Structure 1
Amino acid sequence: MIASDVAVTGVGLLAAVGLDAQRSWAAIAAGSSGISRVTSVDADGFISQLAGELPGGSDWKAAVPRRAGRGRVDRCHAMALDATEEAVAGARLAAADYAPERVGISFGTSLGGARSGEAFHRQWLEEGLRRADASLLRQYPLHSVADYIAEQFGYTGARTVQSNACAAGAVAIAYGVELIESGHADVVIAGGVDPLAYFSFGGFSCLEALDPLHCAPYTRSSGLNLGEGAGVVVLERLALAQARGIPVLAVVRGYGLSADAHHPTAPDPTGRGALRAMRAALDMGGLSPDDVDYVNGHGTGTPANDSTETRAIAQLRPSDPPPLSSTKSMIGHTLGAAGAVEAVTAVLALRDSVFPPTVVPPDAMDAPHGLDIVPAAGRTGALSAALSNSFAFGGNNASLLLTRDDPAARGESSASTERPVVITGTAAIAADAKDSADVRALLRAWKPAYGTQRVTLEGYGDFPVAEIPEKHLTRGVNPQMLRRIDNLGRRAAVVVADLLRERKLSRDEASRTGLIFATGTGPLSTVEAFQRELIQTGSGNTRLFPNTVMNAAGGHVALLNRLQGPTATICAGGTSGISALHFATRLIQRGAADRMMVLSADEAPVAMLAAHARIDGFLSRERCLPFRNSGKVFGGAGVAVLLEAAATAPQEKTMGWIEGFGMTGDASGPGRLEASSDGWSRSFRSALVDAGVAACDVDVVVSAACGRAAIDDTETTAVRDAGLSSAVLSAPKEIFGDAGASSALLGVAHALWMSEETDDGALDRKARASPGRSLPRRAIVSSYEVGGSYQSVVVRSRDA
C-alpha cells in the first residue's frame, strides 16, 4: 500500500474549553472540563441539559469578521471561519506562493446549518410557507460550509464535504490527503465543524443515549454529552512545507476506513471493524502496532461504543495496549467535527510530547481490559506515533495515523506505483424507470421518464416532479429489512441489488469491497419528518432519527450486502458523485481496496420544492428543457458504479475506464453562482490534463444543463472555452430531471451505454449532433453545485 507523505502545518480549534488551539490544548492537557448546562439550545424537555458548549454559550460571537458576502451567518459557518483563520495564519499561507486555485477544501459535518434550517421550518409550520424566510436556507445545505470558507478566503480549488456522521471530520482529513497526493491540490484546508442544535438534542435524547450526568467514557459509560466545535488542519506536501521553512506540526502517514456491516446504529461488539480501520491506517503508513505510542479514542461514553473500542484497542496490541484517552470527556461529542477536533488534539500531543487525559468522575469504575486511559491529567512522555479514532452510526470507522516529522517514524510502504482501475458494472433507477433496462430504454428513445406526479405547494400552485414511485423501491431488498430503511435508503438498496445481479460477488469478495456513498442533500424527507414532529410535540421519533444521518443509506446497503471495505459518505450537492468516484479510484490505486462500489441516491421531497418555489421561474410547470430556460424539474434516482483493480477484475466484465478528474471552484458563496464560466472551464481543462488527452479526443460532453439559463449558459460558455465545442452535447436531465449527486453518476452510465448502441442515429436523437456522427468512445461528464463547485470526469468506453 502506498504511504502518505502529507504535513500538517497549521491548526485551528474551537471547543468548550477554549476559543483557539492554544487555550483549548492547555485546558485539555490539564484535564479541565468545559461541560456544563447548555444555554444556546432549549434542552429542558430532553434527558440531559449538559453539553460541551463554546465559552459564552448563547452569547458567543465569532472572533473573525466576515470578509465577503451578505446576509446572516449561521453559527456553524462562523465557527468554521474562526478555526480556519487560526489554521491558515499558523501555517503562514498568506506568505506562501500557492495559487488560490491550488488550495482545496475538505470539510466534515453532520449538522451543518441545521440551526438555520430549523428556524425556517418553524416559520413554515407556524406562519405558512409564504411567510417563511427563505434566505435562512442559503446556509442550510451541508456543502454551504465549504462554500462559505471558499468565499471568505478566495480559495478556488477542489471542494467537497464529507458526512459520515461522527466520523466525518476524520474522513475529511483522509480525503484531503488524496486531493494532494492525486495532484488536484497543493494545499487543503481540512477539518470538521458542528454546532449544538435542537435537532441533535432531540435525536440523541429519544435514543436515550444522553447522560444527565457528566459523561464518563471508558469507565461509567452511561451516556454521552453533546458538544460543539470546529477543528481545522492545513495539509500540504511535506517536501513543499520543508522547502518554505514552515514548522511541521505532524505528518499524516496513513488512514484506515472500514464498515462494520453489522447494525444501523450499534457498532459490531467484537470490535473487528474498528480494528480493521486501525490496521489499515498502520499498513498505509508502513508501521506496526508496536510503533503506536498513543490512541486518541472515539470515547463517547455510551456503553456500546466504549466496550467495542476498548476491546479493539486490546486486540491491536494484546501484550501491551497503547495508552488511550477520550477528549470527549472534556468537550463533549462534537458529532461531525469530532474526528477533526480530536486529530488536532493528537497533533498537539505529538508536538509537545504530552498524553492527553480522560476525565474520570469520582463515581467511575476502572477502565476495562486493564487499559491505561491517562486518568485525570495529562502526562509527558515519548510520543512519536498516534492513532486518532472516529466511529459512527452505520458502522463507519475511520482511523488517522499521525506521526512526528521524524524519518525514523516514517516506516516503509509496501508498494510504490498506482494500480490501474476499471469499471465493471453500472446500474440505475430514476423517475418512472424501475431498473437499468428501463433507464437505458428511455435514454435510447430520448423520452422523458416523468409526467405522472405533481406536487402542490401552498400559495404557489403545482409542479411536476420526476420522483421514483414507491412500488419500485422493494425489488431485491430483504423484506425484513424494509421497515428499517427510509425512502432514500431503499433506492440505494434497490440499485445495488440491480448491479449485483449482473456482477455477482462471493461472500469473501463482498467482505473486501468498499462503498463510497454520494448524495446531494441526503434523506431530506426523513429529516423534515423528524424535525416537524420534534418541533410540534417536543419529542423525537426513534424510528426516524437513525435515518436522518447522511450515511444511513450507505450503511443499510453495506449491511444488506456485507460490504466491509473502506467507506465514506459525500454530501456536497451535485458534485458529490464525481468526488465519490475520485475517492474510490484513489483507494484502489493506493492499494487500500481491490473493489469499490460508488453509490448515489437522491430524492425530490416537498421540502426541496418548497425551498425553491418562491424564486420566479426556478421550477418548471411542465418539462425540463435544457438550454431553453424552462425551469428545473427535481427528480429522484439511485445509481451504482462498480470500480475494480484492473489486475484482479474479470476481463469480460470491463465496461470502461475512468481516465481523469477536474475539480475546481470559485468564490460565489453559499446559495449563489457567479456568472463567470472560469471555474467551470478550469474543471474541464483539468480533467483533460489529468486524463492526458486533448479536447479533440472527446466525443461527447454529458452536460449538467438543467433548464435554468443562468446555469446552462455558463456551462455552454465553459464548454466552448475549454475547446470542447466540436463534441456532442447531451443533457440527460431532460429525461430524468435534476437528481442531485445521482445526475453525474447517471451521466457516467449514459456515456458508457451510448458507446454500446448499435443504432448510430440514436445519438442524434439525444444530443446536439450532426447526422452520421459515429458513436462516442470518450466522454466528459459535467457537474456543478450552487455555491461555486465544479467537477468533471473523463470516461473511456471499452471499445475506444
Structure 2
Amino acid sequence: MSVTLAAGADPDTLVVSGWSAATPYGLGTRAFTEGVRALRDAVRAADGDADLGPYERAGRVPGFDVRTVLGRKGTRAMDRATGLAVATAGMLLEQAGPGLAQDAPEAVGMVLGTGHGSVQSIMDFTRDSLTGEKPFHVDPALFPNTVMNRAAGQSAIWHTLRGPNTTIAGGAPTGLLALNYAARLLRQRHCEAVLCGAVEEFSPERAWLEYRARTGGGHRQPAGPLGEGCALFLLEPLSRARAHGRAALASLLGARFIAFTDPERAGEAVARAVTEALKEADVRPEDVDLLVPSDSGGPLGAREDAALTGIFGEHRPPRLRLRRLVGDLGAASASVQLAAALTAGADRPVLVTSVDPDGQTGAVVLRTGDR
C-alpha cells in the first residue's frame, strides 16, 4: 500500500510505516491481506499426527517449521513462539529496506507482547525436572525458552536491534498495549523507531490450559478453536519515515485502556475506552469507517458489541470479525486486528477494540494512510 504524503502533515505524528505477519493464512502481508479481504476461514482440522489437544480444529501457521524458515544455525533449541517472532521481524525489516537496523542499531527498539511466553517450553522443562533421575538433569539450552522475554530478546539479537527491548503481557489487548508502549518510548525520545506487536504459539499444552480455564468452574467464555500467529509493526515519526522513503500506512491518533473487576461492567469499560480514545483522536463516531472488535463471543463479546452499538447508533460502520476466521490468537489477537485494519484502504478512520475476561479493555484509533 502506498499513499501520497500531505506536505503539511505534522512531522512528529507517529505512523506505522511497515508491517508483517505470520498467521493461519501463511507468512507475510500478502497472504494475510488476501485471506482477510476474502473472509476466508483459516481454522483447519488436524493434519497428519498433529496434536490439537481437546480441539478438533485450530488456526495454525501452515507449514511453519523453525529450522526450515530460519535455517539450522542457532535454532536447535528455539521454541515455536520465538521462531514466529524472529521470522516475522525478519520479513518486516526486509520490507523496511536496508539500513533500518544496521546503520544505527541502538536507535531501533523492540516491544513484543506475549501471553505466557512458550507454554510448551515451560511445561516440558518442568516435567523434565520432575521425571528425571535428578531435578537438575535437564537440558540447559532449553531453559531460556521458559522465560517470558525470550521471543523479544532473541528477535533483537537475531536482527541486531540494540534499542530498548520490552515484553508486554496483558491478555487479549496485549497488541494494543504494545503499540501504546512503543509510542511512549518514541515520544520520550528513548529511540527513533520501534518494532512492536505480539506473538502467540499453538501447542497442545496451551490448548488444554485454555480449554480447562474456559469450561471449568466459573465459565469465562466459549471454548472455541485456538489459533497462533505474530504481527509486527514499524512505528516511527512521520519525518523519519519520509527521510527513509517509507510510506505512512497509518497514523496513530488515540488510545485508551480501562480495567474492570466485574464482568457485568465490561461493556461500560469498553464504552469509556472508546469514547476517550475518539476524543483524544479528535474523531467523531460518525466519521469512523470500520470497527475491528475482539469478537470474543459469549456474554463478554455481547457486551462489547452492545457498547459499540450504543456509541455508534444508526451510523453502524462495518465490523470486521477475525476470531471466527483465524481462531483465538490469545495475546496476538489485537495485533492481528491492527494488521487487518491496515488492509482497509487509505484515508479511513478505523477503531480497534479488545476486551479480556480477566478485566482489561482497550481501544485504538488509527487513520489508514495519510491525508
TM-score w.r.t. the length of structure 1 is 0.41
1:82-136 deviation line (CA, Å, top 9, x unaligned): xxxxxxxxxxxxxxxxxxxxxxxxxxxxxxxxxxxxxxxxxxxxxxxxxxxxxxx
Q: Which residue of 1 aligns with 2:341?
A: 751
Task: State the shift of 1:474 in Å.
Answer: 4.7
Q: Which residue of 2 aligns with 1:692?
A: 282
Q: 2:74 aligns to what SS in structure 1?
A: helix
Q: Which residue of 1 aligns with 2:326?
A: 736
- Alignment partner of 1:490 is 2:83: yes
- Alignment partner of 1:664 is 2:253: no
Q: Distance in 2 between matches of 1:500 and 1:418?
A: 22
Q: Distance in 1 between matches of 2:240 and 2:209?
A: 46
Q: Which residue of 1 aligns with 2:61?
A: 468
Q: Distance in 1 between matches of 2:261 and 2:335?
A: 25
Preserved CA contact (<8 Å) 1:419 1:590: no
Task: State the shift of 1:797 in Å.
Answer: 0.9
Q: Distance in 2 between matches of 1:531 and 1:418?
A: 50
Flag as ranges the 4+ runs of structure 1 deviating above 6 A: 615-618
Equivalent residue in structure 2 for 1:585, among 162, 166, 183: 183
Unaligned runs of 5+ in 2: 1-9
Equivalent residue in structure 1 for 2:73, among 480, 498, 519: 480
Unaligned runs of 5+ in 1: 1-416, 619-628, 757-775
- Closer, same or farther: CA 471–741 of 1 in aligned 2, 3 Å: closer
Task: State the shift of 1:721 in Å.
Answer: 2.7
Q: Distance in 2 between matches of 1:483 and 1:731?
A: 37
- Given residue 255 of structure 2, which amino acid in structure 1 is its aligned partner? F
- Alignment partner of 1:783 is 2:354: yes
Equivalent residue in structure 2 for 1:723, among 312, 333, 336: 312
Equivalent residue in structure 2 for 1:533, among 128, 146, 164: 128
1:741-794 deviation line (CA, Å, top 9, x unaligned): 2221111111111215xxxxxxxxxxxxxxxxxxx7111111122211001111
Q: Distance in 2 between matches of 1:527 and 1:505?
A: 36
- Alignment partner of 1:642 is 2:234: yes
Pairs within 5 Å for 1:138-287: none
Pairs within 5 Å for 1:283-362: none
Equivalent residue in structure 2 for 1:516, among 111, 119, 122: 111
Q: Which residue of 2 aligns with 1:546?
A: 144
Preserved CA contact (<8 Å) 1:440 1:753: yes
Preserved CA contact (<8 Å) 1:418 1:589: no
Higher RCO structure, 1 or 2 (CA under 8 Å, sep 6+)? 2
Q: Which residue of 1 aligns with 2:174?
A: 576
- Alignment partner of 1:795 is 2:371: no
Q: 2:30 aligns to what SS in structure 1?
A: helix
Q: Distance in 2 between matches of 1:569 and 1:691?
A: 26
Equivalent residue in structure 1 for 2:247, among 630, 634, 653: 653
Task: State the shift of 1:432 in Å.
Answer: 4.6
Q: 1:574 aligns to what SS in structure 2?
A: coil
Q: Which residue of 1 aligns with 2:5?
A: none
Q: Distance in 1 between matches of 2:30 and 2:191?
A: 29
Task: State the shift of 1:613 in Å.
Answer: 3.2
Pairs within 5 Å for 1:581-620: 581-614=179-212
Q: Distance in 2 between matches of 1:463 and 1:455?
A: 9
Equivalent residue in structure 1 for 2:19, among 422, 426, 429: 426
- Closer, same or farther: CA 474–638 of 1 in aligned 2, 3 Å: farther
Task: State the shift of 1:509 in Å.
Answer: 3.4
- Given residue 443 of structure 1, which amino acid in structure 2 is its aligned partner? V
Q: Which residue of 1 aligns with 2:164?
A: 566
Q: Distance in 2 between matches of 1:446 and 1:509?
A: 40
Q: Distance in 2 between matches of 1:418 and 1:502?
A: 22
Q: Distance in 2 between matches of 1:616 and 1:505?
A: 45
Q: Which residue of 1 aligns with 2:6?
A: none
Tell me the percent identity: 23
Which structure would you say has the larger Rg?
Answer: 1
- Closer, same or farther: CA 518–785 of 1 in aligned 2, 3 Å: same
Preserved CA contact (<8 Å) 2:304 2:355: no
TM-score w.r.t. the length of structure 2 is 0.86
Task: State the shift of 1:737 in Å.
Answer: 1.0
Task: State the shift of 1:456 in Å.
Answer: 5.5
Preserved CA contact (<8 Å) 2:225 2:327: yes
Task: State the shift of 1:648 in Å.
Answer: 1.7
Task: State the shift of 1:710 in Å.
Answer: 1.4
Q: How many residues in Structure 1 have an aligned counterpart in Structure 2? A: 347
- Closer, same or farther: CA 456–753 of 1 in aligned 2, 3 Å: closer
1:531-553 deviation line (CA, Å, top 9, x unaligned): 11112222333121111111111
